[in-house]
Protein backbone atom coordinates (compact mmCIF):
# COMPACT_ATOMS: atom_id res chain seq x y z
CA UNK A 1 0.00 0.00 0.00
CA UNK A 2 1.21 3.44 -0.78
CA UNK A 3 1.20 6.35 1.63
CA UNK A 4 -1.61 8.03 -0.31
CA UNK A 5 -3.84 4.97 0.06
CA UNK A 6 -3.13 4.71 3.78
CA UNK A 7 -3.87 8.43 4.22
CA UNK A 8 -7.20 8.03 2.44
CA UNK A 9 -8.16 5.04 4.59
CA UNK A 10 -7.27 6.84 7.81
CA UNK A 11 -9.17 9.97 6.80
CA UNK A 12 -12.21 7.90 5.82
CA UNK A 13 -12.18 6.14 9.20
CA UNK A 14 -11.85 9.49 10.99
CA UNK A 15 -14.78 10.91 9.01
CA UNK A 16 -16.88 7.85 9.83
CA UNK A 17 -16.06 8.15 13.53
CA UNK A 18 -16.98 11.85 13.53
CA UNK A 19 -20.26 11.01 11.81
CA UNK A 20 -21.00 8.25 14.34
CA UNK A 21 -20.23 10.52 17.30
CA UNK A 22 -22.45 13.31 16.00
CA UNK A 23 -25.24 10.88 15.16
CA UNK A 24 -25.19 9.48 18.70
CA UNK A 25 -25.07 13.01 20.14
CA UNK A 26 -28.04 14.12 18.07
CA UNK A 27 -29.87 10.88 18.87
CA UNK A 28 -29.75 11.56 22.59
CA UNK A 29 -30.13 15.35 22.48
CA UNK A 30 -32.80 15.93 19.86
CA UNK A 31 -32.98 19.68 19.44
CA UNK A 32 -33.44 21.45 16.14
CA UNK A 33 -30.55 23.88 16.69
CA UNK A 34 -28.18 21.00 17.45
CA UNK A 35 -29.45 19.25 14.32
CA UNK A 36 -28.53 22.27 12.21
CA UNK A 37 -25.06 22.36 13.78
CA UNK A 38 -24.56 18.62 13.19
CA UNK A 39 -25.71 19.02 9.57
CA UNK A 40 -23.23 21.83 8.89
CA UNK A 41 -20.41 20.03 10.71
CA UNK A 42 -20.90 16.86 8.67
CA UNK A 43 -21.16 18.94 5.51
CA UNK A 44 -17.94 20.85 6.15
CA UNK A 45 -16.04 17.72 7.19
CA UNK A 46 -17.32 15.87 4.12
CA UNK A 47 -16.29 18.74 1.84
CA UNK A 48 -12.83 18.83 3.43
CA UNK A 49 -12.50 15.06 3.03
CA UNK A 50 -13.53 15.33 -0.62
CA UNK A 51 -11.05 18.13 -1.33
CA UNK A 52 -8.07 16.60 0.45
CA UNK A 53 -8.51 13.01 -0.64
CA UNK A 54 -7.85 13.87 -4.27
CA UNK A 55 -4.53 14.00 -6.05
CA UNK A 56 -1.52 15.12 -4.09
CA UNK A 57 0.08 18.34 -5.27
CA UNK A 58 3.83 18.52 -5.50
CA UNK A 59 5.34 21.30 -3.41
- How confident is the prediction along the chain (59 residues), in pLDDT tens digits per residue? 677 788 888 999 999 999 999 999 999 998 999 999 999 999 999 999 888 877 555 54
Residue 1 in domain: no
Domain interval for residue 23: 8-50
CA dist., res. 42 & res. 47, Å (int): 8
Residue 17 near residue 40, CB atoms below 8 Å: no
Residue 21 in domain: yes
**Number of domain units in the chain:** 1
Question: Where are the alpha helices (H) located in the chain, listed in sequence order?
Answer: 3-28, 32-52
Residue 59 in domain: no
Residue 12 in domain: yes
Residue 19 in domain: yes
Residue 29 in domain: yes
Amino acid sequence: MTNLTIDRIISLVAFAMLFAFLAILFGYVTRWDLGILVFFTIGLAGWDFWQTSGRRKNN
